[in-house]
Amino acid sequence: MCGIIGSFYRTLRQHPSLMAIDLSNLAHRGPDSAGIFNNDRVSLGHTRLAIIELTTAGHQPMISLDKRYVVTYNGEIYNYLELRTELETIGESFSSSSDTEVLLVAYKVWGPDCVTRFRGMFAFAIWDEVNKSLFLARDRCGEKPLVYWRDRNRFVFASEIKALIPLLEKPPPLDTSVVDMFLHYQFVPEPFTLLTGVYKLPAAHTLLLTNDNWEAEPQRYWDVERTSFDGSTPKGNQDILSSIREGVENAVTLTLRSDVPVGVALSGGVDSGVIAALAQKQYSEPMHAFCVGYPGRPSYDERHQARALAESLGMIVHEIELPVNEFVNFFPDLVRILDEPIADPAAFGHYAVPKAAADLGIKVLLTGIGGDEIFWGYDWVARTVMIDQFMSKTPSLSHVLRLIAAFPRIKGLLPRLAEHSRAPSVVRLCAAWLDAFSDTQTPHSQLRFYMAVSGFSTTFDLKRSVYGDRMYDLSPDNPFLPTNIGTRVQKEIPAALIRMLFDTWLVSNAVALGDRVSMSVGVEARLPFLDVNLIERVMALRKIIPDHRLGQKAWLRAAMKGVLPEEVLSRSKSGFSTPGREWISGVLVKYGEILHDGVLIRQGIIDSKKVQFILTDIPKKNFPELFFSYKLVFLEMWYRQVIQ
């Protein structure tokens, strides 16, 4: 787990070589060592967090034994031992025990297709001295980041934006279309960044650059919607559950491979509980478990449940309590740590856990991220599947759409009612269906998805009331660009919506957030639920027997009977809850004034006359409105902390 950075020149170098100072903005990602490789065409830099092969034999950038290839690599190839054995049987040799060298030799033997053999998380760049080419790749779920920029003669890349910007002559201007997306999503969807001309290499993509193919575009090598699995066809429900349990156990086994201590981030829920139980079973000594809570132990404080489970497993428990004032005071630092705007307030809790682990010398932390995305953990996603399937059978419902849309107050109430925790389930379901039928924003060429989330839909009205001159020319379909995958026939809809969730929320919010906060303190977060074999296994099973109507995480809960206590398996999902309203309100009070003389006004994003309206009037309404104002303050703070 590391930080990577580099430059590639189409002709002979016209800019200075990489120097140690260029690696300084990535030192948090690799506090153990650093290295640079320079020649007349390429510069590769690396900051190392040593997890496997702790000696200098794992130093990077690493040069192949034949001197042809040089790699700078961030991540872990969990199946490196199996790949090494396979490569040795065909005559390849190794000088270290690192997974980095396995990656390098795999590229020598299999070329760009090597990525299809990797089980793990990775972002890397390989220079080929013979072909004068630069190959970049990113893992299937985007667990490791990679951003880039290029002009006619120079291509630069880095693990984080804050390391990339100093390599450019000046920061690019804000991209108004992406600002608009951020205010809807609370994160920046791939492949975009907020800076014009700066892009993320998307998850599950590679990029091969040469002189003759300088404008090459990223190529997708994997798609969660169209996966395949070689396992046997299940003969019934028990076969399905056995297959899922086997897949999860195998994923946990692989992610435990480490030459340093491993801990667990633990809540009171099913996902992290499954990881903790299976990991402790295979670990040779009591593991350290870390959980978060809040003063006064409100109803969403899960420390009691987490401690009870951890102690029953024989783990060592550490509780972290987060007062409101700590979040508010730490806010500017948190924004810088996140590197790009991710306005999820849960980021502070996710930061506190690896920070506590780092203080104890634990450098690897297993988490339950990904379980919700694979096993229908979000009710609104499963509902949207059923709504899209129903709408595909009955397109004549357009008259219902027009009728409900004619009453704005009713239309505005529906999404809030659909997500209201105290409303009866039948009321929530009916409200969600009616809201979907009255959706006039989603383009006709797309499946309904994010309009089921109240914050997303509320933003359409809010942004019209505060936008500045530069925002007027945006297409009304702009927020839907990241979900523009077209329509699907009825049986294809479940997989298509999982793909949209993977391509947006999972990679750009959940995974990106987890990577930045853990790496900011030199801790590697590992996500067993995102093991490619497990994902492909589950997706193949549901092609045979759809499970989106069975209830939240029905397959996972049933498969883990005997692994977790029944009270954990039957516990309803609460998510990683925080005192969100108090935290956000505190930020607006303490930092809201930065909007008055900020970049959002200077670049025409918001109207200077509307700042007080943003800070005082909008937050008085419901939570989506309060959160909208918070996102604007977050965006302004991000520009000051990361770009300026």
Does the pLDDT at position 396 exceed 90?
no
Task: Confirm if 303 and 311 have CB atoms less than 8 A apart.
Answer: no
Residue with tokens 């990223």: 218
Does the pLDDT at position 51 exceed 80?
yes
Residue-range domain boundaries for the chain:
2-222, 226-369+530-569
Does the pLDDT at position 401 exceed 70?
no
Does the pLDDT at position 125 exceed 90?
yes
Structure confidence at residue 566 (pLDDT): 93
Is the bond preceding 189 in cis, omega lying within 30 degrees of 0? no
Structure confidence at residue 574 (pLDDT): 63
Structure confidence at residue 399 (pLDDT): 60
- The least confident of 60-74, 132-146, 395-409 is 395-409
Percent of the chain with pLDDT over 70: 96
Closest CA to 630 of 334, 373, 427: 334
Amino acid at 569: L
Closest CA to 523 of 514, 532, 531: 514
Structure confidence at residue 584 (pLDDT): 95
Q: pLDDT tens digits for 296-319?
A: 888 888 899 999 999 999 999 999
Partner residues linked to 174 by β-bridges = 195
Task: Confirm if 477 and 341 have CB atoms less than 8 A apart.
Answer: no
pLDDT band at 324 (very low <50, low <70, confident <90, very high): confident
Residue with tokens 């977050």: 634
Those residues with Cβ within 8 angstroms of residue 327's Cβ, 6 or more apart along the chain or in another chain: 334, 345, 348, 583, 586, 587
CATH number for the domain running over 2-222:
3.60.20.10
Structure confidence at residue 93 (pLDDT): 95
Does the pLDDT at position 160 exceed 70?
yes
DSSP letter assigned to residue 192 = B
Gap between the Cα atoms of 477 and 446, Å rounded: 11
Does the pLDDT at position 460 exceed 60?
yes
Task: Confirm if 595 and 588 have CB atoms less than 8 A apart.
Answer: no
Structure confidence at residue 406 (pLDDT): 66
Helix (H, G, I), strand (E, B) or coil at 94: coil
Tell me what the pLDDT averaged over the chain comes to.
93
Q: What is the mean pLDDT of residues 628-642?
A: 98
Task: Confirm if 462 and 628 have CB atoms less than 8 A apart.
Answer: yes
pLDDT band at 236 (very low <50, low <70, confident <90, very high): confident
Gap between the Cα atoms of 307 and 515, Å rounded: 25
Task: Confirm if 118 and 139 have CB atoms less than 8 A apart.
Answer: yes
Three-class DSSP labels, 337-385: HHCCCCCCCCHHHHHHHHHHHHHCCCCEEECCCCHHHHCCCCHHHHHHH
Gap between the Cα atoms of 550 and 194, Å rounded: 39
Structure confidence at residue 454 (pLDDT): 83
Gap between the Cα atoms of 138 and 220, Å rounded: 10
Residue with tokens 């925002």: 471
Q: pLDDT tens digits for 162-193?
A: 999 999 999 999 999 999 999 999 999 999 99
Cα distances (angstroms) measured from residue 523 to each of 193, 368, 467, 514: 25, 16, 39, 10
Task: Confirm if 72 and 38 have CB atoms less than 8 A apart.
Answer: no
CB half-sphere exposure, 426, CA atoms < 13 A: 0
Q: What is the mean pLDDT of residues 208-229?
A: 95
Partner residues linked to 5 by β-bridges = 45, 158
Does the pLDDT at position 398 exceed 60?
no
pLDDT band at 435 (very low <50, low <70, confident <90, very high): confident
The 147-150 sheet, strands edge to edge = 33-38, 42-48, 2-9, 154-158, 147-150, 199-200
Structure confidence at residue 423 (pLDDT): 79
Structure confidence at residue 575 (pLDDT): 57
Structure confidence at residue 630 (pLDDT): 98
Higher pLDDT, 263 or 429: 263
Q: What is the mean pLDDT of residues 140-145?
A: 98
Task: Confirm if 17 and 30 have CB atoms less than 8 A apart.
Answer: no
CB half-sphere exposure, 623, CA atoms < 13 A: 14
Q: Which CATH superfamily is domain 226-369+530-569 in?
A: HUPs (3.40.50.620)
Closest CA to 582 of 637, 617, 630, 614: 630
Q: What is the mean pLDDT of residues 70-98?
A: 97
Amino acid at 41: R
User: Positive or negative CA dihedral for 180, 186, 190, 192?
Assistant: positive
